[in-house]
Amino acid sequence: MTERARALGRLWQDDYPWTFLTRLTEIENRLGGHPGERRAADLVAEGFERAGARDVTMESFDITRWDRGRAELAVTEPVRRSFEAVALPYSPGGDARGELVDVGHGTPEEIDEMDVEGAIAVASTTTPPGNRFVHRMEKFGHAVAAGAEAFVFHNHVPGQLPPTGSLTFGDVAARPGVGVSRETGAWLTDYADRGATATLSVDAGTEPATSHDVHAELGPDTDEEVLVVAHLDAHDVAEGALDNGCGITVVVAAAHLLAELDLDARVRVAGVGCEETGLLGSEALADRLDADRVRAVVNVDGAGRFRDLQAFTHGSETLRSVAERVADETNQPIGVEANVHPFSDHWPFLRRGVPALQLHSRQDDSAPGQRGRGWGHTHADTRDKVDDRNLREHAMLTALLVQELTRREDVPRRDAEDVAEDLRERDYEAGMRAADIWPEDWA
Protein backbone atom coordinates (compact mmCIF):
# COMPACT_ATOMS: atom_id res chain seq x y z
CA MET A 1 0.00 0.00 0.00
CA THR A 2 1.34 3.45 -0.92
CA GLU A 3 1.77 6.24 1.62
CA ARG A 4 -0.91 8.21 -0.24
CA ALA A 5 -3.35 5.33 0.18
CA ARG A 6 -2.53 5.14 3.90
CA ALA A 7 -3.13 8.89 4.28
CA LEU A 8 -6.47 8.62 2.49
CA GLY A 9 -7.43 5.72 4.71
CA ARG A 10 -6.66 7.70 7.83
CA LEU A 11 -8.89 10.57 6.72
CA TRP A 12 -11.63 8.17 5.66
CA GLN A 13 -12.14 7.14 9.31
CA ASP A 14 -11.06 10.37 11.04
CA ASP A 15 -13.59 11.97 13.38
CA TYR A 16 -11.81 15.34 13.40
CA PRO A 17 -13.88 16.88 10.56
CA TRP A 18 -17.08 16.23 12.52
CA THR A 19 -15.48 17.58 15.70
CA PHE A 20 -14.38 20.72 13.84
CA LEU A 21 -17.85 21.28 12.36
CA THR A 22 -19.40 20.76 15.79
CA ARG A 23 -17.18 23.38 17.39
CA LEU A 24 -17.81 25.78 14.51
CA THR A 25 -21.58 25.48 14.65
CA GLU A 26 -21.56 25.96 18.43
CA ILE A 27 -20.33 29.52 17.83
CA GLU A 28 -23.14 32.07 17.89
CA ASN A 29 -23.50 34.65 15.12
CA ARG A 30 -20.70 34.25 12.57
CA LEU A 31 -22.06 37.13 10.46
CA GLY A 32 -19.26 39.34 9.10
CA GLY A 33 -17.64 41.62 11.66
CA HIS A 34 -19.42 40.14 14.68
CA PRO A 35 -17.48 38.48 17.54
CA GLY A 36 -18.54 34.99 16.47
CA GLU A 37 -16.83 35.43 13.11
CA ARG A 38 -13.53 36.20 14.85
CA ARG A 39 -13.95 33.08 17.00
CA ALA A 40 -14.47 31.08 13.81
CA ALA A 41 -11.25 32.53 12.36
CA ASP A 42 -9.37 31.47 15.50
CA LEU A 43 -10.78 27.95 15.12
CA VAL A 44 -9.65 27.78 11.48
CA ALA A 45 -6.16 28.96 12.44
CA GLU A 46 -6.05 26.23 15.08
CA GLY A 47 -7.10 23.70 12.43
CA PHE A 48 -4.33 24.77 10.04
CA GLU A 49 -1.78 24.55 12.84
CA ARG A 50 -3.02 21.08 13.75
CA ALA A 51 -2.52 20.05 10.11
CA GLY A 52 1.13 21.11 10.32
CA ALA A 53 0.80 24.02 7.90
CA ARG A 54 3.49 26.70 8.17
CA ASP A 55 3.23 30.47 8.47
CA VAL A 56 -0.33 30.45 9.80
CA THR A 57 -1.34 34.08 9.42
CA MET A 58 -4.42 36.03 10.47
CA GLU A 59 -5.00 39.33 8.70
CA SER A 60 -7.67 41.90 9.51
CA PHE A 61 -9.51 44.25 7.18
CA ASP A 62 -11.95 47.05 7.83
CA ILE A 63 -15.62 46.65 6.94
CA THR A 64 -18.96 48.30 7.49
CA ARG A 65 -20.69 45.81 9.77
CA TRP A 66 -24.42 45.32 9.27
CA ASP A 67 -26.69 44.55 12.24
CA ARG A 68 -29.96 42.81 11.37
CA GLY A 69 -32.22 44.37 13.98
CA ARG A 70 -35.91 43.68 13.45
CA ALA A 71 -38.32 43.85 10.55
CA GLU A 72 -42.11 44.20 10.38
CA LEU A 73 -44.30 43.52 7.38
CA ALA A 74 -48.04 44.14 7.42
CA VAL A 75 -50.84 44.12 4.84
CA THR A 76 -53.05 47.17 5.40
CA GLU A 77 -55.74 46.76 2.71
CA PRO A 78 -58.08 44.93 2.05
CA VAL A 79 -57.37 43.38 5.48
CA ARG A 80 -54.96 44.18 8.28
CA ARG A 81 -52.52 41.46 9.28
CA SER A 82 -48.83 41.10 10.08
CA PHE A 83 -46.28 38.54 8.86
CA GLU A 84 -42.90 37.32 10.10
CA ALA A 85 -40.02 38.82 8.12
CA VAL A 86 -36.23 39.03 8.42
CA ALA A 87 -34.22 41.96 7.11
CA LEU A 88 -31.81 41.16 4.27
CA PRO A 89 -28.17 42.16 4.85
CA TYR A 90 -27.36 45.75 3.92
CA SER A 91 -31.01 46.67 3.87
CA PRO A 92 -31.19 50.22 5.19
CA GLY A 93 -33.33 50.98 8.17
CA GLY A 94 -36.55 52.79 7.43
CA ASP A 95 -40.16 52.46 6.41
CA ALA A 96 -41.91 51.84 3.11
CA ARG A 97 -45.54 51.79 2.07
CA GLY A 98 -47.07 50.80 -1.24
CA GLU A 99 -49.07 48.40 -3.34
CA LEU A 100 -47.95 44.78 -3.30
CA VAL A 101 -46.83 43.71 -6.78
CA ASP A 102 -46.03 40.06 -7.51
CA VAL A 103 -43.07 39.91 -9.93
CA GLY A 104 -42.99 36.09 -10.03
CA HIS A 105 -39.43 34.77 -10.00
CA GLY A 106 -38.07 38.30 -10.20
CA THR A 107 -36.43 37.93 -13.60
CA PRO A 108 -35.87 41.15 -15.57
CA GLU A 109 -38.59 40.19 -18.03
CA GLU A 110 -41.14 39.61 -15.28
CA ILE A 111 -40.28 42.88 -13.55
CA ASP A 112 -40.52 44.77 -16.84
CA GLU A 113 -44.02 43.37 -17.40
CA MET A 114 -45.27 44.82 -14.11
CA ASP A 115 -45.60 48.38 -12.85
CA VAL A 116 -43.55 48.46 -9.66
CA GLU A 117 -43.10 52.23 -9.46
CA GLY A 118 -43.68 53.15 -5.81
CA ALA A 119 -44.67 49.55 -5.00
CA ILE A 120 -43.40 46.74 -2.78
CA ALA A 121 -42.07 44.10 -5.18
CA VAL A 122 -42.57 40.46 -4.14
CA ALA A 123 -40.24 37.87 -5.75
CA SER A 124 -39.55 34.15 -5.30
CA THR A 125 -36.19 32.68 -4.34
CA THR A 126 -36.31 30.26 -7.25
CA THR A 127 -35.72 30.68 -11.00
CA PRO A 128 -37.90 29.44 -13.89
CA PRO A 129 -36.95 25.98 -15.23
CA GLY A 130 -34.57 26.21 -18.17
CA ASN A 131 -33.24 29.64 -17.16
CA ARG A 132 -29.86 30.34 -15.67
CA PHE A 133 -29.91 30.99 -11.94
CA VAL A 134 -30.90 34.61 -11.26
CA HIS A 135 -29.31 35.84 -8.04
CA ARG A 136 -31.21 37.72 -5.37
CA MET A 137 -29.02 40.82 -5.86
CA GLU A 138 -29.99 40.92 -9.52
CA LYS A 139 -33.69 40.66 -8.67
CA PHE A 140 -33.39 43.40 -6.08
CA GLY A 141 -31.36 45.63 -8.41
CA HIS A 142 -33.83 45.29 -11.26
CA ALA A 143 -36.79 45.98 -8.96
CA VAL A 144 -35.19 49.11 -7.51
CA ALA A 145 -34.18 50.33 -10.98
CA ALA A 146 -37.82 49.95 -12.01
CA GLY A 147 -38.89 52.19 -9.12
CA ALA A 148 -39.82 49.74 -6.33
CA GLU A 149 -39.95 51.24 -2.85
CA ALA A 150 -39.10 47.94 -1.16
CA PHE A 151 -38.33 44.29 -1.93
CA VAL A 152 -39.81 41.13 -0.42
CA PHE A 153 -38.03 37.84 -1.13
CA HIS A 154 -40.20 34.77 -0.43
CA ASN A 155 -38.85 31.25 -0.07
CA HIS A 156 -39.94 28.48 -2.42
CA VAL A 157 -39.12 25.80 0.21
CA PRO A 158 -41.90 24.99 2.70
CA GLY A 159 -41.51 25.01 6.47
CA GLN A 160 -42.02 28.60 7.64
CA LEU A 161 -38.43 29.47 6.66
CA PRO A 162 -37.88 33.14 5.75
CA PRO A 163 -34.65 33.36 3.72
CA THR A 164 -31.82 35.81 4.18
CA GLY A 165 -29.01 36.91 1.87
CA SER A 166 -27.18 40.13 1.08
CA LEU A 167 -28.69 42.78 -1.19
CA THR A 168 -25.31 44.26 -2.13
CA PHE A 169 -21.57 43.62 -2.03
CA GLY A 170 -20.95 45.33 1.29
CA ASP A 171 -22.64 48.73 0.88
CA VAL A 172 -25.95 49.92 2.29
CA ALA A 173 -28.68 49.22 -0.27
CA ALA A 174 -30.88 51.83 -1.88
CA ARG A 175 -34.16 50.42 -0.56
CA PRO A 176 -35.27 48.13 2.28
CA GLY A 177 -35.55 44.40 1.67
CA VAL A 178 -36.80 41.46 3.71
CA GLY A 179 -37.19 37.71 3.44
CA VAL A 180 -40.43 35.86 4.18
CA SER A 181 -41.45 32.20 4.19
CA ARG A 182 -43.05 30.30 1.34
CA GLU A 183 -46.27 30.24 3.32
CA THR A 184 -46.22 34.02 3.75
CA GLY A 185 -45.33 34.38 0.08
CA ALA A 186 -48.47 32.48 -0.87
CA TRP A 187 -50.56 35.00 1.07
CA LEU A 188 -48.70 37.99 -0.33
CA THR A 189 -49.07 36.91 -3.95
CA ASP A 190 -52.76 36.32 -3.32
CA TYR A 191 -53.12 39.77 -1.78
CA ALA A 192 -51.16 41.28 -4.67
CA ASP A 193 -53.74 39.86 -7.08
CA ARG A 194 -56.38 41.64 -5.00
CA GLY A 195 -54.63 45.03 -5.21
CA ALA A 196 -53.50 45.01 -1.59
CA THR A 197 -51.30 47.63 0.05
CA ALA A 198 -48.69 46.95 2.72
CA THR A 199 -46.17 48.59 5.01
CA LEU A 200 -42.61 47.49 5.69
CA SER A 201 -40.41 48.66 8.57
CA VAL A 202 -36.74 47.70 9.00
CA ASP A 203 -34.67 48.59 12.05
CA ALA A 204 -31.24 47.47 10.74
CA GLY A 205 -28.07 49.52 11.12
CA THR A 206 -24.36 49.63 10.32
CA GLU A 207 -21.14 50.53 12.11
CA PRO A 208 -17.37 50.33 11.42
CA ALA A 209 -15.89 46.95 12.30
CA THR A 210 -13.13 44.46 11.49
CA SER A 211 -13.19 41.07 9.82
CA HIS A 212 -10.42 38.50 9.41
CA ASP A 213 -8.84 36.16 6.88
CA VAL A 214 -6.67 33.20 7.91
CA HIS A 215 -4.18 31.52 5.60
CA ALA A 216 -1.23 29.13 5.76
CA GLU A 217 1.16 27.27 3.48
CA LEU A 218 1.80 23.62 2.63
CA GLY A 219 4.22 21.92 0.25
CA PRO A 220 7.41 23.28 -1.34
CA ASP A 221 8.20 26.99 -1.36
CA THR A 222 7.74 27.61 -5.09
CA ASP A 223 7.16 30.84 -7.00
CA GLU A 224 3.63 29.78 -7.98
CA GLU A 225 0.95 28.51 -5.66
CA VAL A 226 -2.48 26.92 -5.71
CA LEU A 227 -4.94 28.73 -3.46
CA VAL A 228 -7.65 26.74 -1.63
CA VAL A 229 -10.25 28.97 -0.01
CA ALA A 230 -13.56 28.71 1.82
CA HIS A 231 -15.56 31.26 3.75
CA LEU A 232 -15.90 30.85 7.50
CA ASP A 233 -18.70 33.36 8.10
CA ALA A 234 -22.41 32.53 8.08
CA HIS A 235 -25.77 34.23 8.40
CA ASP A 236 -26.84 34.83 11.98
CA VAL A 237 -30.30 33.28 11.57
CA ALA A 238 -28.93 29.74 12.13
CA GLU A 239 -25.75 27.71 12.71
CA GLY A 240 -24.41 27.99 9.16
CA ALA A 241 -23.68 24.27 9.05
CA LEU A 242 -24.30 23.78 5.34
CA ASP A 243 -23.35 27.29 4.24
CA ASN A 244 -20.50 27.26 4.66
CA GLY A 245 -19.60 25.21 7.72
CA CYS A 246 -19.24 22.20 5.46
CA GLY A 247 -16.99 24.05 3.04
CA ILE A 248 -14.50 25.39 5.58
CA THR A 249 -14.49 22.01 7.32
CA VAL A 250 -13.59 20.37 4.00
CA VAL A 251 -10.68 22.82 3.55
CA VAL A 252 -9.32 22.25 7.05
CA ALA A 253 -9.63 18.47 6.67
CA ALA A 254 -8.05 18.62 3.19
CA ALA A 255 -5.13 20.58 4.69
CA HIS A 256 -4.42 17.63 7.00
CA LEU A 257 -4.28 15.30 4.01
CA LEU A 258 -2.28 17.71 1.81
CA ALA A 259 0.34 17.85 4.55
CA GLU A 260 0.96 14.11 3.91
CA LEU A 261 0.86 14.19 0.09
CA ASP A 262 3.66 14.88 -2.38
CA LEU A 263 3.03 18.35 -3.79
CA ASP A 264 4.90 19.88 -6.73
CA ALA A 265 3.99 23.49 -5.87
CA ARG A 266 3.11 25.52 -2.82
CA VAL A 267 -0.49 25.29 -1.63
CA ARG A 268 -2.03 28.14 0.32
CA VAL A 269 -5.10 27.19 2.38
CA ALA A 270 -7.36 30.00 3.51
CA GLY A 271 -10.51 30.74 5.45
CA VAL A 272 -12.01 34.12 4.62
CA GLY A 273 -14.60 36.31 6.28
CA CYS A 274 -17.56 38.29 5.00
CA GLU A 275 -18.47 36.19 1.97
CA GLU A 276 -22.14 36.39 2.88
CA THR A 277 -21.98 40.17 3.03
CA GLY A 278 -20.17 40.82 -0.21
CA LEU A 279 -17.07 38.62 -0.83
CA LEU A 280 -15.16 41.14 1.29
CA GLY A 281 -12.67 38.65 2.75
CA SER A 282 -11.71 37.10 -0.58
CA GLU A 283 -11.43 40.60 -2.06
CA ALA A 284 -9.03 41.57 0.74
CA LEU A 285 -7.02 38.37 0.20
CA ALA A 286 -6.86 38.94 -3.56
CA ASP A 287 -5.55 42.45 -2.93
CA ARG A 288 -2.81 41.11 -0.65
CA LEU A 289 -1.63 38.22 -2.82
CA ASP A 290 0.19 38.53 -6.14
CA ALA A 291 -2.46 37.21 -8.55
CA ASP A 292 0.21 36.48 -11.17
CA ARG A 293 1.67 33.85 -8.84
CA VAL A 294 -1.63 32.11 -8.14
CA ARG A 295 -1.81 29.21 -10.60
CA ALA A 296 -5.46 28.52 -9.77
CA VAL A 297 -7.97 29.15 -7.02
CA VAL A 298 -10.07 26.31 -5.63
CA ASN A 299 -13.12 27.81 -3.94
CA VAL A 300 -14.82 25.33 -1.61
CA ASP A 301 -18.30 26.78 -1.31
CA GLY A 302 -20.97 24.07 -1.27
CA ALA A 303 -18.77 20.97 -1.02
CA GLY A 304 -19.57 18.59 1.82
CA ARG A 305 -23.29 19.39 1.87
CA PHE A 306 -24.61 16.62 -0.35
CA ARG A 307 -23.42 13.26 -1.61
CA ASP A 308 -21.68 13.91 -4.94
CA LEU A 309 -19.08 16.59 -5.60
CA GLN A 310 -19.80 19.19 -8.30
CA ALA A 311 -17.01 21.16 -9.96
CA PHE A 312 -17.63 24.49 -11.68
CA THR A 313 -14.66 25.17 -13.95
CA HIS A 314 -15.57 28.73 -15.00
CA GLY A 315 -14.57 28.16 -18.60
CA SER A 316 -11.18 26.51 -18.00
CA GLU A 317 -10.59 23.36 -20.05
CA THR A 318 -7.52 22.55 -17.94
CA LEU A 319 -9.59 22.56 -14.76
CA ARG A 320 -12.15 20.37 -16.47
CA SER A 321 -9.44 17.85 -17.32
CA VAL A 322 -8.16 17.95 -13.72
CA ALA A 323 -11.63 17.18 -12.36
CA GLU A 324 -12.22 14.40 -14.89
CA ARG A 325 -8.82 12.82 -14.21
CA VAL A 326 -9.38 12.71 -10.43
CA ALA A 327 -12.90 11.33 -10.93
CA ASP A 328 -11.51 8.56 -13.17
CA GLU A 329 -8.60 7.71 -10.86
CA THR A 330 -10.77 7.51 -7.74
CA ASN A 331 -13.85 6.01 -9.38
CA GLN A 332 -15.85 8.74 -7.65
CA PRO A 333 -18.48 10.88 -9.39
CA ILE A 334 -17.53 14.53 -9.90
CA GLY A 335 -20.04 16.47 -11.95
CA VAL A 336 -18.44 19.14 -14.12
CA GLU A 337 -20.01 22.39 -15.31
CA ALA A 338 -18.21 25.11 -17.26
CA ASN A 339 -20.53 27.98 -16.32
CA VAL A 340 -19.08 31.28 -15.09
CA HIS A 341 -20.76 33.15 -12.24
CA PRO A 342 -19.61 35.97 -9.90
CA PHE A 343 -21.38 35.10 -6.65
CA SER A 344 -18.73 33.38 -4.53
CA ASP A 345 -15.15 33.73 -3.32
CA HIS A 346 -13.49 32.72 -6.60
CA TRP A 347 -14.77 35.95 -8.20
CA PRO A 348 -12.09 38.43 -6.99
CA PHE A 349 -9.45 36.05 -8.38
CA LEU A 350 -11.21 35.10 -11.62
CA ARG A 351 -11.69 38.81 -12.28
CA ARG A 352 -7.90 39.15 -12.09
CA GLY A 353 -7.35 36.32 -14.56
CA VAL A 354 -6.78 33.43 -12.12
CA PRO A 355 -8.37 30.14 -13.31
CA ALA A 356 -11.10 29.22 -10.85
CA LEU A 357 -12.55 25.91 -9.71
CA GLN A 358 -15.56 26.07 -7.38
CA LEU A 359 -16.35 22.87 -5.50
CA HIS A 360 -20.03 22.49 -4.69
CA SER A 361 -22.14 19.35 -4.33
CA ARG A 362 -25.11 18.00 -6.20
CA GLN A 363 -28.47 17.97 -4.52
CA ASP A 364 -31.27 15.47 -4.71
CA ASP A 365 -34.06 17.86 -5.74
CA SER A 366 -36.66 15.38 -4.56
CA ALA A 367 -35.43 15.50 -0.95
CA PRO A 368 -37.20 17.83 1.49
CA GLY A 369 -35.55 21.19 1.91
CA GLN A 370 -32.88 20.59 -0.74
CA ARG A 371 -34.35 22.07 -3.91
CA GLY A 372 -32.69 25.32 -4.95
CA ARG A 373 -30.69 26.81 -2.06
CA GLY A 374 -32.68 24.55 0.21
CA TRP A 375 -32.06 24.95 3.93
CA GLY A 376 -29.21 27.40 3.44
CA HIS A 377 -29.79 31.02 4.49
CA THR A 378 -32.67 29.96 6.75
CA HIS A 379 -33.27 28.95 10.38
CA ALA A 380 -32.96 25.31 9.24
CA ASP A 381 -29.24 25.47 8.33
CA THR A 382 -28.19 23.35 11.30
CA ARG A 383 -25.67 20.58 11.98
CA ASP A 384 -28.25 17.77 11.90
CA LYS A 385 -28.55 18.28 8.12
CA VAL A 386 -24.91 17.24 7.59
CA ASP A 387 -23.68 13.72 6.79
CA ASP A 388 -20.11 13.45 8.08
CA ARG A 389 -19.22 10.96 5.32
CA ASN A 390 -19.59 13.80 2.83
CA LEU A 391 -17.16 15.95 4.80
CA ARG A 392 -14.45 13.29 4.79
CA GLU A 393 -14.91 12.12 1.21
CA HIS A 394 -15.09 15.62 -0.24
CA ALA A 395 -11.98 16.58 1.73
CA MET A 396 -10.20 13.61 0.16
CA LEU A 397 -11.33 14.58 -3.35
CA THR A 398 -10.45 18.22 -2.76
CA ALA A 399 -6.94 17.30 -1.67
CA LEU A 400 -6.48 15.06 -4.71
CA LEU A 401 -7.73 17.80 -7.05
CA VAL A 402 -5.28 20.23 -5.47
CA GLN A 403 -2.42 17.75 -5.71
CA GLU A 404 -3.17 17.29 -9.40
CA LEU A 405 -3.19 21.08 -9.88
CA THR A 406 0.30 21.34 -8.33
CA ARG A 407 1.48 18.99 -11.09
CA ARG A 408 0.01 21.13 -13.89
CA GLU A 409 2.60 23.79 -14.65
CA ASP A 410 0.66 25.27 -17.57
CA VAL A 411 -2.82 26.34 -16.49
CA PRO A 412 -3.88 29.01 -19.02
CA ARG A 413 -5.08 32.23 -17.44
CA ARG A 414 -8.37 33.88 -18.35
CA ASP A 415 -8.29 37.45 -19.56
CA ALA A 416 -11.02 39.86 -18.58
CA GLU A 417 -12.49 40.05 -22.09
CA ASP A 418 -13.06 36.29 -22.20
CA VAL A 419 -14.67 36.24 -18.77
CA ALA A 420 -16.86 39.21 -19.67
CA GLU A 421 -17.95 37.52 -22.89
CA ASP A 422 -18.87 34.34 -21.03
CA LEU A 423 -20.98 36.37 -18.62
CA ARG A 424 -22.66 38.21 -21.49
CA GLU A 425 -23.46 34.96 -23.26
CA ARG A 426 -25.24 33.78 -20.10
CA ASP A 427 -27.14 37.09 -19.78
CA TYR A 428 -25.38 38.14 -16.59
CA GLU A 429 -24.30 41.62 -17.61
CA ALA A 430 -27.62 43.42 -17.16
CA GLY A 431 -28.20 41.78 -13.79
CA MET A 432 -24.68 42.48 -12.57
CA ARG A 433 -25.02 46.10 -13.61
CA ALA A 434 -28.36 46.30 -11.80
CA ALA A 435 -26.64 44.86 -8.71
CA ASP A 436 -23.73 47.29 -9.23
CA ILE A 437 -21.13 44.50 -9.37
CA TRP A 438 -20.08 44.67 -13.05
CA PRO A 439 -16.38 45.68 -12.91
CA GLU A 440 -15.95 49.37 -13.65
CA ASP A 441 -13.00 48.76 -15.97
CA TRP A 442 -14.98 46.42 -18.22
CA ALA A 443 -16.59 48.07 -21.20
Per-residue pLDDT tens digits for 195-215: 999 999 999 999 999 999 999
Q: Does domain 69-203 have CATH number 3.50.30.30?
A: yes
Give the residue range(s) of CATH 3.50.30.30 domains in the chain: 69-203
Give the residue range(s) of CATH 3.40.630.10 domains in the chain: 3-65+208-412
How many whole angstroms separate alpha carbon 365 and alpha carbon 371? 5
**Mean pLDDT of the 43-70 span:** 98
The H or E element spanning position 252 is helix 246-258
Q: Which residue in 230, 279, 316, 317 sits closest to 432, CA to CA?
A: 279
How many whole angstroms separate alpha carbon 356 and alpha carbon 349? 7
pLDDT for position 367: 47
Q: What is the topology classification, in CATH, of domain 3-65+208-412?
A: Aminopeptidase (3.40.630)
How many whole angstroms separate alpha carbon 195 and alpha carbon 239? 38
The mean pLDDT value of the chain amounts to: 95
How many whole angstroms separate alpha carbon 115 and alpha carbon 149? 12
Cα pseudo-dihedral 134, 136, 139, 145, rounded to 10 = -140
pLDDT tens, position by position, 331-386: 999 999 999 999 999 999 999 999 999 999 987 654 443 445 679 999 999 999 99
Omega of the bond leading into 78 within 30 degrees of 0 (cis): yes
pLDDT for position 164: 97
Q: How far apart are the first and last CA of the chain?
A: 55
Which residues in 54-85 are b (16+ Cβ under 10 Å) and which e?
eebeebebebbbbbbeebbbebeeeeeeebeb
What is the chain's alpha carbon radius of gyration, rounded to the nearest angstrom? 21
